[in-house]
Structures are given as structure tokens and as C-alpha cells.
Chains A and B, each alone.
Chain A
Amino acid sequence: MGQTTVTHDSHAAHGHDHHEQGFIMKYFFSTDHKIIGLQYMFTGMFMAIVGGYFAYAFRMQLAFPGMEVPLYGTVGPGEYNMLITNHGSIMIFWVAMPVLIAAFGNILIPLMIGCDDMVFPRLNRLSYQIFLLSVVVLFMSFFVQGGGFGGAWTSYPPLSAVAEYNLTDWGASLWLIAVALEFVAFLIGGINFVTTSMNARAPGMRMTDIPMVVWMIVLASIMFMASVGPLIAGSIMLLMDQRIGTTFFVPSGGGDPILWQHLFWFFGHPEVYVVLLPALGIVAEIMTTFARKKLFGYKTILYTTFATGGLAFVVWAHHQFIAGIDPRMANIFLVTTLLISIPIAEILFSYIATLYGGSIEFRTPMLWALGFLITFLLGGVTGIYLGSSALDIYFHDSYFVVAHFHYTFFPIAIIGMFAGLYFWYPKMFGRMMDETLGKIHFWGTIIPFNGIFLPLFLVGMAGQHRRIYNFQHFPDLATADLQGIRVFATVSMVTMLLFQFVFAYNFFVSMFKGEKAPANPWKSNTLEWTVPSPPPHGNFAELPTVYRGPYEYSVPGNKEDYWPQNMPDRN
């Protein structure tokens, strides 16, 4: 597959001696950032299938309660809780993070800043190995007695702390261990992203010449590192409550369930920006390339991203407005939460301003990038409803929340993933994907996506609460109208899932049959497009020198409408 072509090609590319490695050494223990990146990519994509499959099963149960779900089986109450818990956990920890940060970060950063690998390649290797272990542990949790954990991805105690309450004794602990291992993997990986980007840039690349996606991954890594510590501590405390009878979070032993919530959300809120930033970065690279335009307000975007990153650390208790915290605290978090909409709005406005005066080509990656902006915009504005503490009294734990966060997470994790995949596929695999199939995949994803989640705002307004396996138990919610909405959402979901086969076909077949890709099929400026597709081991035959920023498109006086960063003269 793609991994083969990455290392095999030009050995002539670098001078040093290179003995032939066995298969295991070359792939299982490879320290090449491109192989590690692809390993994260494929693992993440596989987990997306698992997470999507779980969503299919529980949405089918909601639309057709009590019926056996085709290709799954019956979904009872305990099973339902396991499915929603692991759907959420998988999508955030095992899809969004590995694909957006670890895969794109690993593949792109050395190439985009002009060096031959990450500064700590063996640490990089270790991070993937720990990540893979976390996947194995998560799967183990599904097969122990009691089954997988069903206490939601937020894992609130006392439910999560006491096996008698959650009925998934080892499932709960294995889930927790899997999450903790994933955190460790990303802490280790993050060291490389930050250090490499700051220390290993090619000569001439100033801070403001760094491509936005690199900045975004660096900032995301820093935010992750700064926020995850308290939760790792909390997870160990929870694990101790589960396994050795401590009562950190159990009131009968003097503990406080609210403590967990603070530790969780202090991480949980920055986490959503951790995954947002790389997606924003990917969209920036694509929009500038396909609009042939300089990114509008590079420094503005950078500084507002710093502001967003900082503010992200002081909004967490908007998840706890009605949790039983002192109600006066809610006012503080109301203010900070609404304030954070401001830098994000500025970033989105800057992105849209990048289109002004452009020469826009609607190739598949650009469709995904624009689709990201529109859907994320809706996600962002619906967040305002929830940030309003008083309105959250009604909407807390309702489907309004579910719809809101899917309108943010889906653009981030799925649209962002596809945008990046379609854009960098030629570079990674040396082939072009089919453009028509790409467009079919795009429309077949984005339209049904809206068909799933737009109606869910409405059922949320009708008071429908979350994490319920069968709404037929609630007379006010068991109306034909609401059930009709549930069926519509499920049918949209199945439609959307079916269109993913178009992508799978395109993705795998193009690897072998796709038109061979030149080094720079999109005529883009950044350094990764100056090396062959796919890049050889060692990346650059000669270390590049950088002369300008990454977005010098359509510069007056140039013959070409792009100007690669490493080109000394006018283009």
C-alpha cells in the first residue's frame, strides 16, 4: 500500500548508507515520520469505521425500537449505553486526534518546515506503539464480563467509580486505561511536534513563514499538554476508586463527584480546541491554494488563535452550569464562554475574507474546506444557546447539545480529515484520486450529514434528553412527529454511511490505478510540494532555504500565480 512506496523509492536521494531492513524493522519499528504518520492515519480511519458502526447500531435502535438491527443484532438498554459511550470516546480520542494531529502532524511537519524527520524519531515511534496499545486495551474492554463501559465518554462518578452501579466492572477500568494510554501517546508525540517546528526549520524560515497548519498543530499540542495533566491524575484516582476501594469521587466515603467533573472538563474543554485547530490549519492550506490567494491576516489569525487557546482554559464549567456547582460561579463561566466566540469569529471572518478577490477553483479538497466553514459556523452559533447559562437550564443533556457538538465535531474530525486526505493524497501516495468520485463523496456526505443533525436541534427543543435507548417510555416524546424525525435522521445516517463506500473505493483503487501525481499537482507554495510524490526517505535531496512566507499567491509582477517558499528568484 502507500507505506511501501514511501520508503522504497529513491535511495539515491541521500548520501548515507542504508542497509535493507526486514519487514518488521521497517514498519513495526520504523522511525520515519511519514510511516508513523500513515500508521496513525490508517488506525484512525479504521477506528472511524468502528465508531460509525456503533452510531449506525444505536440510531437504528432509536428509529426502530426493539427491532433487530441488520448487521448488528438487538440493542438493549445496556448495549445502547455501551455504544454511545464508545462512539463518543472513539471519535474524539481514536479518530479526531490521531488523524488530525498525529497523522497530519507527523506526515506534514518535517516536510513543511524543510527537515528530514522529527527531532526525536524514536520517541515518535514509541508514541505510536503506545497508541496502538490503547486501541488494543479499548477492544479488550468489549470482551470482558459485563461488556464495554456504558457510562458516557464523560465517565461521571459515582456511576463510573462503582461496579455495582455501572454493571461493567472491568469494562469501565479497561476503557479508562485505554484513554490514559492514549493521553500518554499524545503527550509523547506532542513533544516532537512542538520541538521540531520550533527548532528544526529550514534556514530562512521565520516564525511568520511557518504554514498555518504547522502553527495550529503546535498550538494544539501545547494546549493538550497543558490541559491533560489534571485529568490523568483524576483518571488514576478514578481507577483507584474502581479497583482498590478508595472513595475520591464517592460521597459515601467522603468523596465528591463534582471534583471529577472539574478535572474532566478542565481538560475536556481545551480538548475541543485541540482538535479544532489542526482542522482550521488544514482548511487554511487548502483555501489559499485553491483561491490562489494570500491568507487574509496571517498574524491576526495567529494571535487570535493564541487568545482562543488561552481563553479555552477558563470556560470549562459551562458543562457544569446545573451540576450543583455554586450558581454564582455560572455567571463567570457564562461571560468567558461567550467571550471565546469572539476570537473564533475573527478567525472565521479572516478565512472568508481570504476568498475575496480570489480565483476560486472548486476542486474536491476546496469543497471540503468550504463545507467545513459553513457547518462549523452553524456549530459555533448554536454553541451560543448553550453558553447562555439560563437557556442551558433547559438544554443541558438534551439533543440540542448533541446537534451542536456534531455540527462542530463532524466538520473537525470528518470533514477536516477528508479535506486533508484529498489534498495531500497525491503527496502521500504518488497518485491522484478521481475527482468525480470525490465530488460525489462530498455531496453524499454533507447533505445527509445535515439531514441527521439539523432535525436533532428540533427534538432537542422538544425536550428530548440524551443517552436514552428508547423514547417510547416518555409520553411527551413518543409522538408520531418526533418519531418521524428520528427515523429521518437515521435514514440520513445510513445514506451518509453508504456514500463512504465511494470514498473507500476511490481511496484504495487510486493508490494503484490513479494517475501518477507530479510533485506539485495543486501548484501550492509550501515545501512539501517541492519533493517527489511520495517523498523519499530523508525527504529533501538538499536542505531547502526559505525566502518568503507560505501564501505568496498571485503576487503582482510574477509570471506564475504561485511562488514556492524555497524559490530564490521571481517565478
Chain B
Amino acid sequence: MIEYFVPGASTYAGDIDFLFDMITIIVGFWFVMVLAVMTYFMVRFRRKEGVRAAYISGDPHSQKKWTHYPHYSVIALDVVIIVFTVMVWVDVKQTLPQAEDKIRVVGQQWSWFFIHSGPDGKLGTEDDISNVNDLHVKKDTVYHFELESRDVLHNFSVPAFRLRQDTIPGRTITGWFEPNKTGVYDIQCAEICGYGHGIMGATIVVHEDQQSYDAAMESIRNRTYESDYQKRLQKMTVSTASNSESFTDKLLSSF
């Protein structure tokens, strides 16, 4: 269902979306059942002239079982959720598959800075390519990212990948992703970081193949790169309101 809002673009997006769907079925079933029972009771046992309420303590087992048995099935379903969750969590956050490339992501008040590994595939060498606002990656390539912060807590968030990870100043946090869908997606900062938290976005460009990626890297290197981030911001369909439009005009025009 998340897919309907945000198409997944990484290999583990599907696993996380599956968890959502599974939990929705489980809790949705519970919610509807409990609501149905409650509604039935409210209707069936509404006050009627001359009819007295029953005297039920809920203490003997014959009565208690009505809350105990549903409660045992909640436990069982919780176990199911735990098992599937652990499987996905271990895959995404606890294991690091073999890296095919690396990137460094640096958050600061209030922008994102990226260091691509360059032709040698190693971070921290002469041929690294740094860029602000735009992160370039290749489809079907396993990336390790190294997250850093220059000042306060930030959070590297790529909804299309279903990825969020806090960055902590003074530490490098490692993780991984493998993009599997070409496209251009939002990067967000998902931890409040002060005055400019609301403008701390960036763009991730997933390239279809090595050529496209190399072309982008080359244009960054020779300074002819036009930021995808800036281009996307300029193209937006819903513009910020201008002060000349009255409040009621704006309200009415949104319906």
C-alpha cells in the first residue's frame, strides 16, 4: 500500500512494504472485529424501559475467557509480527552485504553534502567527487553509505528506498542500500536540526547504467553539472503563495 504513494526504488523497499501490508491485515482484522462487537453491544444493550442490566463480575473463568481467548490470539499475532520484523531488520540494519561502491553522506545545518568514490571505487582518495544537494548512484549496485554530521543530529531519509538513519556528530554510521529503479527521488532530513530543517532537502539520482552515471560524474568534475535538485524545485506545480492573493481567495481556490 505504501507503493501506491511512493514507488519503491531499492531492493528492501518491497520487504518493508510487505511488513506494512501484513500488519495492516492483522490489526485491521482486529480493529474491525472489536469495533463490530462494540457497536453490536451499544445497539443491543441500549436502555429499554423495564429492562434491567445483567450483573456480571467478569471474575469466574466462564466469563473471563471472553477476554482471555482474544488476548491469547493477540499474543500469537504479535509473535508473527515479531518474526517477520526481525527478518527484515537484520537484513537492512544488522548485515552489510558486500559493497560494490561506497558513498559518504554528510549532513550539516542545513544541507546535504555527498562524496562519491570516483573511478577507483574507494572513499578518501584523490579521485573522490564531492557534490552538494545531489547524490548520484547506479541501479543494481550495492552501496555502503557512511553517514556523518558536522554539527547536530540529522537524519538521512530516502523515502523511495524506505531508508531513514540518524546521523550523529562525532560518529560515522554505516549502512547499505541497493537501488533497483531508475529515477530521481527526494532526500530529506528527518530529524529536527534547527531553523533550516524545513529546507534541508536533496535529490538522489539513480542512473540506469554506468554511462549515465559517468556522464553525471564527469559534468560535476568539469563544473557543467546542472543540479537536479535545483531543477526539480524550479519545476514544482504547487507554488508557494504570494502575498498579493487574499486568504479567502486561496482557501476557495484549493477546493
Q: Give the interface size bracket for A toward B.
A: 35 or more
Closest chain B residue, CB of each to CB of A556: B55
Pick the contact of B241 from A66, A346, A349, A391 — CB < 8 Å? Answer: A66
Q: Which A454-493 residues have a C-beta within 8 angstroms of B?
A: 458, 461-463, 465-470, 472-480, 483-484, 487
The listed residue (A330, A370, A554) touching B93 by CB distance below 8 A is A330
The interface size bin for chain B is 35 or more
Q: Is the CB of B195 within 8 A of A385?
A: no
Q: Which residues of B contact A339 (CB under 8 A)?
A: 78
CB distance from B207 to the nearest CB of A (A): 18
| Complex: A382 Cα to B63 Cα, angstroms | 29
Chain A to chain B contacts (Cβ below 8 Å), 7 pairs: A77-B196, A150-B195, A296-B56, A327-B93, A346-B68, A357-B53, A377-B31
Given A156-B153, A338-B78, A374-B38, are A384 and B89 also a contact pair (CB < 8 Å)? no
Contact B82 A334 (CB under 8 A): yes
User: How far apart are the CA atoms of A258 and B64 in the complex, in Å?
Assistant: 44
Chain A residue nearest in CB terms to B71:
A346
| A394-B2 contact given A159-B194, A473-B198, A479-B238, CB 8 Å threshold | yes
Interface residues of B, Cβ cutoff 8 Å to A:
1-2, 5-6, 15-16, 19-20, 23, 26-27, 30-31, 34-35, 37-38, 41-42, 45-48, 51-59, 63-64, 66-68, 70-71, 74-75, 78, 81-82, 85-86, 88-89, 92-94, 109, 151-153, 155, 157, 159-160, 162-171, 173, 185-186, 188-199, 201, 203, 232-233, 235-243, 245, 247, 250-251, 254
Q: Are B67 and A300 in contact (CB under 8 A)?
A: yes
Chain A residues packing against B (C-beta within 8 Å): 63-68, 70, 77-78, 80-81, 150-152, 156-159, 162, 165-167, 251-252, 257-258, 291-300, 322-324, 327-328, 330-331, 334-335, 338-339, 341-342, 345-346, 348-350, 352-362, 370, 373-374, 377-378, 381-382, 384-385, 388-391, 393-394, 396-398, 458, 461-463, 465-470, 472-480, 483-484, 487, 553-556, 561
Q: Given known contacts A150-B195, A293-B56, A327-B93, is B170 in contact with A252 (CB within 8 Å)? A: yes
Question: Given the known A-B contacts A296-B58, A397-B164, are A335 and B82 also in contact in the complex, defined by CB atoms under 8 Å?
Answer: yes
Our pick among B1, B57, B168 for the contact of A461 (Cβ within 8 Å) is B1
A331, A349, A357: the one contacting B67 at CB < 8 Å is: A349
Q: Are A394 and B159 in contact (CB under 8 A)?
A: yes
- Given A394-B16, A462-B159, 6 new contacts (CB under 8 A): A67-B245, A349-B70, A359-B53, A388-B19, A390-B86, A477-B186
Task: State in angstroms the CA–CA spacing of A156 and B191 once bound together.
Answer: 9
Residue of A63, A162, A554 touching B53 (CB-CB under 8 A): A554
